[in-house]
């Protein structure tokens, strides 16, 4: 199946620690790269993980807290030194666009690629699409306007059965419509039903990135059934009060969302630096939702 891979460049929270970097992920869908959030040091992490900058076309920012976007000026400046041609689009809130434009015009006026900005809003909307995927926003519940992002592959064509194609000598010009579900009508008028000519399409995979937010079940309809859900788990239940006060989630709450949205797997992240490891996060989440893994820098996850 074509590649749909999540690279974890950073999964720590507010201040970087020696264990975790600030938020940043790269989604690799058929060699097109999409970045979500861009904390300080993202460009260096990208280099460590051998991310091909030249394939990066879009950066989606969840909210305008420094640990989710202060790596942007450095990354955009470095691209201006190395990349020639092409374009890069940053999706963020209006006030962020003004700020990043100002910073870039100050530090990197001469750019060798087309830097574009697209406005997002804290609402459910499709903010990007191409032939292969759509990217949707879903509003979260944090101290400042924040969105989650949902990446979905579009429905794919069915697979032609080569032997049947040969047997009926189906003209090339008709094959695409058959892949899309049409029956085949032979020259003498017989109808061959699609189900005999094709096998089912590969499933359309989906990934949701939910960070930062308090426990917020309102997101469930938007993320229902995604194959992989990244959900922030800044704290564990022993700090549930602190999580609520700061509009963050506990690992248990992340697992409740995963369970109630019937997702495939849950990926925890955005850990507070007050934890020595993520054992407690994992164990309390798995009690609720067994298919849970803990993100860590350098991790690559394939959606199969």
Instruction: Give the active site residues.
Output: 67
| Distance of closest approach, residue 77 Cβ to a second copy, in angstroms | 5
> Binder to a second copy among 54, 78, 83, 161 (CB under 8 A)?
78
- Segment 98-117, which members bind a second copy (CB under 8 A)? 99, 102-103, 106-108
Non-local (6+) Cβ contacts of 297 within 8 A are 8, 9, 10, 11, 20, 21, 45
* Nearest to a second copy of 65, 281 (CB atom): 65
| Number of CB atoms found within 10 A of residue 54's CB | 14
* Nearest to a second copy of 143, 159 (CB atom): 143
CA distance 235 to 280: 9
> Binder to a second copy among 5, 32, 77, 83 (CB under 8 A)?
77
| Distance of closest approach, residue 47 Cβ to a second copy, in angstroms | 6
Helix 279-288 vs helix 251-260: crossing angle, to nearest 10: 30
The SS3 call for residue 138 is strand
What does the per-residue mask of binding to a second copy show for 130-149, with x meaning CB under 8 A? Answer: --------------------
| Distance of closest approach, residue 66 Cβ to a second copy, in angstroms | 4
* Nearest to a second copy of 102, 154 (CB atom): 102
Alpha helices in 109-186 (DSSP H): 162-168, 172-179
Count CA within 13 A, CB hemisphere, residue 185: 2
State the Cα torsion 258-129-87-9 to the nearest 10°: 10
Please report, as ranges, the residues that interact with a second copy according to CB under 8 A: 14-18, 21, 40-41, 43-44, 47-48, 64-66, 70-71, 73-74, 77-78, 81-82, 95, 99, 102-103, 106-108
């Amino acid at each position: 199946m074509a590649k749909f891979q999540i690279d974890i460049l950073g999964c720590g929270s507010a201040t970087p620690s020696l264990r975790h970097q600030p938020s940043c992920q790269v989604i690799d869908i058929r060699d097109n790269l999409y970045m979500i959030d861009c904390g300080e040091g993202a460009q260096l992490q990208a280099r460590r993980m051998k991310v091909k900058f030249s394939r990066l076309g879009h950066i989606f920012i969840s909210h305008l807290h420094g640990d989710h976007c202060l790596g942007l000026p450095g990354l955009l400046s470095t691209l201006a030194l190395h990349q020639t041609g092409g374009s890069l689009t940053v999706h963020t809130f209006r006030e962020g666009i003004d700020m990043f434009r100002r910073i870039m015009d100050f530090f990197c006026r001469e750019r060798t690629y087309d830097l574009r900005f697209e406005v997002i809003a804290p609402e459910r909307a499709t903010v990007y699409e191409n032939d292969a995927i759509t990217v949707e926003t879903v509003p979260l519940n944090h101290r400042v306007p924040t969105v989650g992002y949902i990446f979905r592959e579009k429905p794919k064509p069915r697979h032609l059965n080569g032997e049947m194609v040969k047997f009926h000598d189906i003209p090339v010009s008709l094959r695409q419509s058959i892949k899309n579900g049409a029956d085949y009508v032979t020259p003498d008028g017989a109808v061959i039903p699609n189900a005999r000519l094709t096998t089912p399409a590969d499933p359309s995979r989906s990934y949701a990135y939910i960070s930062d937010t308090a426990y917020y079940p309102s997101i469930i309809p938007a993320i229902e059934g995604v194959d992989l859900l990244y959900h922030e788990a800044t704290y564990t239940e022993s700090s549930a009060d602190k999580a609520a006060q700061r509009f963050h989630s506990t690992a248990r709450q992340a697992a409740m969302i995963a369970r109630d949205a019937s997702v495939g797997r849950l990926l925890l992240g955005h850990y507070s630096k007050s934890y020595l490891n993520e054992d407690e996060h994992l164990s309390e989440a798995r009690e609720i939702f067994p298919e849970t893994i803990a993100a860590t820098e350098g991790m690559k996850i394939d959606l199969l």
